[in-house]
Amino acid sequence: MNIFWTLVIEMISFGLFIYFFGKVLWKPLMQAMEARRRRISEGLAAAERGQRELEDSVNKAEERMAEARSEAHELLANAQRQASETLERARADARSEGERIVSAAREEVDQAVAQAKDQLRREVGELAVDGAERILKREIDTKAHNDIIDDLVAEIR
């Protein structure tokens, strides 16, 4: 029972198996595990980046929201001011228009009063002349005495 050649054959086999195990099993598996490790760490990094981006955009959104709110406030204030201005102007217009109408009416009334006074005066003058004619029972030379009547009329006025 001599094991020399069995020993040699097994040593060579061992060497060959080391080579083939390294080629077929060790290298591809190591690469796969390395690739997976890289992918997982990349995924974690991406998740972290996403988290940070999310926070950033939340912050930005809040900022923009605040801006929009202040803008809206400004717009609203402007609109209110404008509305009150318009209202004020309308009120003023209405007041002046009313005043104008009232004064016009007053003028008209004054005119009518003046007219009425004139007419009254003239009628009174005629009545006075009539009365005088009747009193004097004679024809008055209208032409001669017109001046006097006119004076009278003027006096009454």
- List residues binding another protein (CB under 8 A): 1-11, 13-15, 17-22, 24-26, 28-30, 32-33, 35-36, 39-40
- What does the alpha-carbon distance between residue 36 and residue 30 come to, in Å, rounded to a whole number? 10
Q: Residue 139 contacts by C-beta under 8 Å, 6 or more apart in sequence?
A: 133
End-to-end CA distance of the chain: 175
Supply the minimum distance, in Å, between the C-beta of residue 70 and another protein: 48
Q: Closest Cα to residue 126, out of 88, 152, 92, 96?
A: 152
Comparing CB distances to another protein, the nearer of 5 and 135 is: 5
Supply the minimum distance, in Å, between the C-beta of residue 42 and another protein: 12
Comparing CB distances to another protein, the nearer of 27 and 60 is: 27
Assess contact for 149 and 125: CB atoms under 8 A. yes
Comparing CB distances to another protein, the nearer of 1 and 136 is: 1
Supply the minimum distance, in Å, between the C-beta of residue 48 and another protein: 18
Comparing CB distances to another protein, the nearer of 6 and 70 is: 6
Write out the two tokens for 92: 């003023």
